[in-house]
Chains A and B, each alone.
Chain A
Amino acid sequence: EIVLTQSPGTLSLSPGERAALSCRVSQSVSSTYLAWYQQNPGQAPRLLIYDASSRAIGVPDRFSGSRSGTDFTLTISRLEPEDFAVYYCQQYSDSPPQFTFGAGTKVDIK
C-alpha cells in the first residue's frame, strides 16, 4: 500500500511570499501519476496539477509542480489571498487499482 506523507502540516506565510509544499511517496513509482488539489473551507477540492507537473485548465502559472525521485513538490511562487487553503496530493497505483490522498498541508496567513 502506497502512503503519501505531506509536510509541513501547516505553513504560515504572508501574501506575496513563496510556498513550497512537499509530498513524499512511500515506495518508488515508475509513473508520474501524482496530482495536487486545492480545497477552500466548505468547498470541494479543485484539481491544480496532474502528472506531477502539468497545470490543469484555468490554473494560474504561479502554481507549479516538480518531482525528485519519490519526493514531489507543489510551489506557489507568490501567494495571493485566494491561495490560503488546504492542499492535498494524490497518487494512483494500478496493482490493485487504488487512489490514495495525503493528509494535506494547510497554508494560512501569517
Chain B
Amino acid sequence: QVQLQESGPGVVKPSQTLSLTCSVSGDSISSGGDYWSWIRQHPGKGLEWIGNIFYTWNTYYNPSLRSRMTMSVDTSKNQFSLRLTSVTAADTAVYYCARKRSGWPVFDSWGQGTLVTVSS
C-alpha cells in the first residue's frame, strides 16, 4: 500500500521560497504508472490543484501558479518536491502530496498534509 509523507518548514517569510518534499513508500516513483501531485487547501477552504510531475520530469502546472513554481523528482530517494517562489500570506495553506495513476484523472492516495504559514 502506497504511503506519502510531506516534509518541509512550517513557516516561510514573505517574498521567500517555499520548499516541500514528498517521500513515497510502497510504490516506485519511476515505475511509470503514476503521476505525482501537489494540492493545497487554504485554511477553512476548498482544495486547489498545484501540479503533477512524471518521473521523466514531464510536468503539468496550475496556470495560476506556473510562473512561481517548480516541481522535481529524485528517483534515487523516491521523492518529489515543490518550490514556490515569492510567497505571500495567500500561500498559507495545508499542502498535500498525492498520487495520480496514469490514465486515471483522480488522486487515489494522499499524504497527511503539512501546514505552511507565510509570516514574518
Contacts and interface: CB of A to CB of B under 8 A. Distances in A.
Interface of A: 33, 35, 37, 43-47, 50, 56, 88, 90, 92, 96-104
Contacts of B96: 44-45
A44 B48 CA distance: 13
Interface residues of B, number: 19
Contacts of A98: 49, 60, 62-63
Interface in B62-103: 62-63, 96
Interface in B36-79: 45-49, 52, 60, 62-63
Interface string B100-118: 0000111110111100000
Contacts of A43: 112
A76 to B, nearest CB: 19
27 contacts: A35-B106, A37-B47, A44-B96, A44-B110, A44-B112, A45-B96, A45-B107, A45-B110, A46-B110, A47-B106, A47-B107, A50-B104, A88-B46, A88-B47, A90-B107, A92-B105, A96-B63, A97-B60, A98-B49, A98-B60, A98-B63, A99-B105, A100-B49, A101-B46, A103-B45, A103-B46, A104-B46
